[in-house]
Amino acid sequence: MVAYSEKVMEHFMHPRNVGEIADADGVGSVGNPVCGDMMTFYIKVADGRLADVKFKTFGCGAAIAVSSMVSEMAKGKTLDEARQITNRMVADELGGLPANKMHCSNLGADALRAAIEDYERKHGGEPKEEA
Protein backbone atom coordinates (compact mmCIF):
# COMPACT_ATOMS: atom_id res chain seq x y z
CA MET A 1 0.00 0.00 0.00
CA VAL A 2 1.14 3.53 -0.77
CA ALA A 3 1.79 5.66 2.30
CA TYR A 4 0.54 9.23 2.01
CA SER A 5 1.24 12.10 4.38
CA GLU A 6 -1.58 13.47 6.53
CA LYS A 7 -1.59 16.59 4.38
CA VAL A 8 -2.07 14.58 1.17
CA MET A 9 -4.96 12.71 2.80
CA GLU A 10 -6.50 15.96 4.06
CA HIS A 11 -6.40 17.55 0.57
CA PHE A 12 -7.71 14.33 -1.00
CA MET A 13 -10.61 13.97 1.46
CA HIS A 14 -11.41 17.71 1.56
CA PRO A 15 -10.08 19.25 -1.67
CA ARG A 16 -10.18 23.04 -1.94
CA ASN A 17 -11.35 25.03 -4.97
CA VAL A 18 -13.04 22.16 -6.83
CA GLY A 19 -15.22 23.18 -9.74
CA GLU A 20 -15.04 25.35 -12.80
CA ILE A 21 -15.24 29.06 -13.45
CA ALA A 22 -17.90 29.62 -16.13
CA ASP A 23 -16.30 32.82 -17.46
CA ALA A 24 -12.69 31.84 -16.75
CA ASP A 25 -9.95 34.11 -18.07
CA GLY A 26 -7.75 31.09 -18.76
CA VAL A 27 -8.24 27.33 -18.93
CA GLY A 28 -5.51 24.70 -19.04
CA SER A 29 -5.86 20.94 -19.33
CA VAL A 30 -3.19 18.29 -19.06
CA GLY A 31 -3.34 14.56 -18.85
CA ASN A 32 -1.15 11.54 -18.44
CA PRO A 33 -2.45 8.71 -20.60
CA VAL A 34 -0.23 6.21 -18.77
CA CYS A 35 -1.96 6.64 -15.42
CA GLY A 36 -5.22 8.13 -16.69
CA ASP A 37 -5.01 11.32 -14.61
CA MET A 38 -6.63 14.39 -16.21
CA MET A 39 -6.55 17.89 -14.72
CA THR A 40 -8.19 21.09 -15.88
CA PHE A 41 -7.45 24.39 -14.16
CA TYR A 42 -9.60 27.52 -14.48
CA ILE A 43 -8.23 30.93 -13.53
CA LYS A 44 -9.75 34.37 -13.00
CA VAL A 45 -7.29 37.24 -13.22
CA ALA A 46 -7.73 40.68 -11.62
CA ASP A 47 -5.03 43.35 -11.52
CA GLY A 48 -2.40 40.87 -12.71
CA ARG A 49 -3.15 38.43 -9.88
CA LEU A 50 -4.97 35.12 -9.71
CA ALA A 51 -8.20 36.24 -8.05
CA ASP A 52 -9.68 32.76 -8.29
CA VAL A 53 -8.39 29.30 -9.18
CA LYS A 54 -10.57 26.23 -9.58
CA PHE A 55 -9.90 22.76 -10.90
CA LYS A 56 -11.52 19.56 -12.03
CA THR A 57 -9.41 16.44 -11.74
CA PHE A 58 -10.07 12.88 -12.76
CA GLY A 59 -7.47 10.67 -11.18
CA CYS A 60 -5.96 9.08 -8.12
CA GLY A 61 -5.94 10.50 -4.62
CA ALA A 62 -2.51 12.04 -5.14
CA ALA A 63 -3.69 13.82 -8.31
CA ILE A 64 -6.67 15.31 -6.46
CA ALA A 65 -4.50 16.36 -3.49
CA VAL A 66 -1.95 17.93 -5.85
CA SER A 67 -4.65 19.88 -7.70
CA SER A 68 -6.07 21.14 -4.42
CA MET A 69 -2.63 22.20 -3.16
CA VAL A 70 -1.66 23.90 -6.44
CA SER A 71 -4.91 25.89 -6.39
CA GLU A 72 -4.21 26.99 -2.80
CA MET A 73 -0.59 27.92 -3.58
CA ALA A 74 -1.56 29.91 -6.69
CA LYS A 75 -4.46 31.97 -5.37
CA GLY A 76 -3.55 35.61 -4.89
CA LYS A 77 -0.20 35.31 -6.65
CA THR A 78 0.84 37.31 -9.69
CA LEU A 79 0.98 35.41 -12.97
CA ASP A 80 4.78 35.33 -12.78
CA GLU A 81 4.75 34.07 -9.18
CA ALA A 82 2.21 31.37 -10.04
CA ARG A 83 4.28 30.33 -13.04
CA GLN A 84 7.20 29.63 -10.66
CA ILE A 85 5.31 26.92 -8.76
CA THR A 86 7.19 23.69 -9.40
CA ASN A 87 6.35 20.05 -8.91
CA ARG A 88 8.96 19.87 -6.12
CA MET A 89 7.35 22.81 -4.28
CA VAL A 90 3.93 21.14 -4.51
CA ALA A 91 5.26 17.79 -3.26
CA ASP A 92 7.11 19.54 -0.40
CA GLU A 93 3.96 21.50 0.60
CA LEU A 94 2.08 18.19 0.75
CA GLY A 95 4.72 16.66 3.01
CA GLY A 96 6.09 14.49 0.22
CA LEU A 97 4.65 12.08 -2.31
CA PRO A 98 5.63 8.48 -2.96
CA ALA A 99 8.09 8.18 -5.85
CA ASN A 100 5.53 6.45 -8.06
CA LYS A 101 3.13 9.38 -7.58
CA MET A 102 5.56 12.25 -8.27
CA HIS A 103 4.25 12.51 -11.84
CA CYS A 104 0.95 13.74 -10.35
CA SER A 105 2.71 16.81 -8.93
CA ASN A 106 4.04 17.58 -12.42
CA LEU A 107 0.52 17.61 -13.80
CA GLY A 108 -0.79 20.16 -11.30
CA ALA A 109 1.91 22.73 -12.01
CA ASP A 110 1.66 22.03 -15.76
CA ALA A 111 -2.13 22.53 -15.82
CA LEU A 112 -1.79 25.81 -13.93
CA ARG A 113 0.88 27.03 -16.37
CA ALA A 114 -1.31 25.98 -19.30
CA ALA A 115 -4.18 28.08 -17.90
CA ILE A 116 -1.85 31.09 -17.49
CA GLU A 117 -0.60 30.67 -21.07
CA ASP A 118 -4.20 30.44 -22.31
CA TYR A 119 -4.98 33.70 -20.47
CA GLU A 120 -1.94 35.42 -21.98
CA ARG A 121 -2.85 34.29 -25.51
CA LYS A 122 -6.40 35.63 -25.09
CA HIS A 123 -5.25 38.94 -23.62
CA GLY A 124 -2.65 40.08 -26.08
CA GLY A 125 0.82 38.82 -26.40
CA GLU A 126 2.54 35.53 -26.52
CA PRO A 127 2.90 33.38 -23.43
CA LYS A 128 6.19 33.98 -21.69
CA GLU A 129 8.78 31.29 -22.21
CA GLU A 130 10.07 29.69 -19.05
CA ALA A 131 13.54 30.70 -18.01
Cα torsion 21, 22, 26, 27: sign: positive
pLDDT digits (tens, 9 = 90+) for 50-74: 999 999 999 888 899 999 999 999 9
81, 111 in Cβ contact below 8 A? no
CA-to-CA distance for 19 and 6, rounded, in angstroms? 23
| Residue 115 within any structural domain of the chain | no
Query: Catalytic: which of 35, 38, 51, 60?
Result: 35
Alpha helices in the chain (DSSP H): 6-13, 61-74, 79-83, 87-93, 102-122
| Residue 49 maps to a domain | yes
pLDDT at 87 over 90: no
pLDDT digits (tens, 9 = 90+) for 8-29: 999 999 999 999 999 999 999 9
Whether 35 is a known active-site residue: answer yes
* 127 domain-assigned: no
CATH code (residue 83): 3.90.1010.10
What is the separation, in whole angstroms, between the first and last Cα of the chain?
A: 38
In a domain, 120, yes or no: no
- 55: β partners: 18, 41
Residue 124 is assigned to a structural domain of this protein: no
Note the pTM of the prediction, 2 decimals. Answer: 0.89
Of residues 45, 104, 114, 116, which has the active-site annotation?
104
Tens-digit pLDDT profile for residues 25-49: 999 999 977 778 899 999 999 999 9
Flag whether 117 is in a domain: no
Question: Would residue 123 count as lying in a domain?
Answer: no
Q: Looking at the 3D structure of the chain, how many domains does it have?
A: 1
Range of the domain at 49: 6-109
